[in-house]
Amino acid sequence: MKLIILGLLLGVFALVFGMSANLTNFDTLKFFLDPASFAVVFVLTVGTLLIGFQGSFISSVTSIWKRDIDDQTLDRSIQFWKAAKRYAIAYGFIGSLIGMVFTLHAFGDDDLGGVGPAISISLITVYYGLISGYLIFDPIACLLEARK
């Protein structure tokens, strides 16, 4: 468990290090916060998981910290977290398409001030999808696979 926490802390530190320009400007962290992008990735991912794993959604989530789980639940939980990774990454790219629509719409305006924020939405959603998929969901699936 200590290695899991250490790995997560290292990942978070690396992200904050990069997002804050080498830990010199923490004001830049606000550029990486976008509620709409968060909703596109995480709400859609959870919704899709609820649909696809109706009978095992709760047990798949709680399998992370439960020690004594049967093989069937463990296999289903591994499938769940691998699916969460795929869905988060896919919805990140769908969010990118939404941002690109906003970008193209902004190009039609006389004032191009909306282009930057629109591109930002596009990039942040991909960022959320990749970070959640590779920093959160994939390591959980690997952790559960190691229990087999």
Report, in angstroms and rounded to the nearest whole number, the Rg of the chain calculated over CA atoms.
18
Orientation of helix 115-131 relative to helix 71-107, angle to 10°: 170
Q: Supply the pLDDT for residue 1.
A: 62
Cα end-to-end distance, the chain, whole Å: 16
Helices (H), the chain: 2-19, 35-38, 44-52, 57-62, 71-107, 115-131, 138-147
Q: What average pLDDT values come out for the chain (148 residues) when binned by 10 residues?
A: 80 88 84 92 96 92 87 94 97 95 86 86 95 94 90
Map tokens 């970070």 to a residue. Answer: 131
Q: Tokens at residue 35, please?
A: 């509620």
Non-local (6+) Cβ contacts of 82 within 8 A are 137, 138, 141
CB 144 within 8 A of CB 63: yes
